[in-house]
Amino acid sequence: MKFKCILCGFQNYSFFLTKGEDFEYGVKGKFNLIKCGRCGLVSLSPTPPIKELLTFYPSSYHSYNIPVSNLTKFLTYLNLEKEAKKFKELIGRNGKILDVGCADGRHFDILKRFGKWQFVGIDFNDEIVCKGQKAGREIYSTTLEKFNYPEQSFDLIIMDHLLEHVVNPVETLHCACRLLKKDGYILGAIPNINSLDRIFFGRYWGGYHFPRHLWHFTPETLSVVLLKTGFKLKKINYELHTGHWALSIQNFLQSKKITKSKIKQGRTFYFPIFLFFLIPLNFMQKLFHYTGIISFVARKNKREIY
C-alpha cells in the first residue's frame, strides 16, 4: 500500500491496530489503523471516500438526537455552560461563531442565553440540517471545504470532535484559517489516543469509534497539524469526560455477549450509569494528563499560511 503522511510526508508506517469493529451501529467490516513511522499520526486505512463515509452516520446517530436520560441532559447543559464561558474569554459577549459539524444546532438556543453571539452552522447530513433550518437556525448542508462564505467572516470556529471525522484535517484547517478574522480562534476537542482508557481497553476503546474516526491525535500531533495550517496552539485541557470509559465497557460487554441489552442511538441503558460512577477515576486521569478527551484553543497566526 502506498502511504504518505499528511503531516510530515514520511512514506513508512506500521500497523497500530487490525480488525477493529463497529460495536455501536453495526457497520459491517473490519478496520485497520496505521501509524506514521516519523510523526506518529494514527489513521484509518484505507480512508473511505466521502460518499461511503456518509453512510456510516445513521439518523439514529447519538450526536443527532436529544439526550435521553436526565443525567445526560444535565451533563450536556453543564458542558454548554462551560463552552459559553470559553467564548466570553476568547471573544467577549459578542461575535460571529461558526460551528462545524453542528447537527441541527439545537445547542445554539442554550448558548444564546449566555451571550449575544451570532451562530452559523454546517453539517453534511441533509436530514438533520433540515431540522435545524425549520427551527429558524442558520445552518448549511455542506462540508467546510465546500462552504461558500466570505473570507475572514468569523471571530471563532468551533470544531468540537470534528478533526477525527474529516477526510483530510490539513485541508479542513486550511479552510478554517481562511474563514477566520485576523487573530481569530479555533475552539475544539478530540479524542486523545495517548490515554489511560485506550491503553486499558485496547480494541474495545470507545474513542476508536470505527469507522467514523479517521484520525487519532496526541497533543504532539495536534500541535503539528495546527502549526502546518496557520495556527498556534495556545492551550490544551485534559477533560473530565467519562464517555470513552463508559463506551469502552459497553463495547466489551456487548462484544463478549455478557449482556444482550438493546442499543439505542449507539448506547445501552447502562451507559449513563457508568458515566456517573467513573467520574472519580477520570479525576485521577486528569491529574496525570491521560484523559480520553483533550480540548484545545488555537489562534490564527498573523502571518497566514495557506
Average pLDDT along the chain, 306 residues, taken 10 residues at a time: 92 96 94 97 92 85 69 76 94 97 93 96 93 96 94 97 96 97 96 96 97 97 96 94 94 88 88 89 92 96 58
Tell me whether residue 274 is in a domain.
no
Helix (H) or strand (E) holding 119: strand 116-123
243 vs 71: CA distance, rounded Å: 13
Cβ atoms within 10 A of the Cβ of 6, count? 17
Only one residue has cell 477515576, namely: 281
- CATH code assigned at 110: 3.40.50.150
Number of domains in the chain: 1
Residues 159-218 have pLDDT tens digits of 999 999 999 999 999 999 999 999 999 999 999 999 999 999 999 999 999 999 999 999
Q: Where are the alpha helices (DSSP H) in 229-306?
A: 243-255, 271-277, 279-287
Q: What residues make up the domain containing 150?
A: 13-198+210-240+294-300
Tell me whether residue 249 is in a domain.
no
Tell me whether residue 203 is in a domain.
no
pLDDT at 72: 67
Tell me whether residue 256 is in a domain.
no
pLDDT at 305: 46
First to last CA, the chain: 29
Tell me whether residue 32 is in a domain.
yes
pLDDT at 170: 97
pLDDT at 49: 86
pLDDT at 306: 42
pLDDT at 66: 62
Please tell me the pTM assigned to this model.
Answer: 0.91
pLDDT at 64: 73
How long is the chain? Answer: 306
Tell me whether residue 179 is in a domain.
yes
223 close to 256: Cβ distance less than 8 angstroms:
no
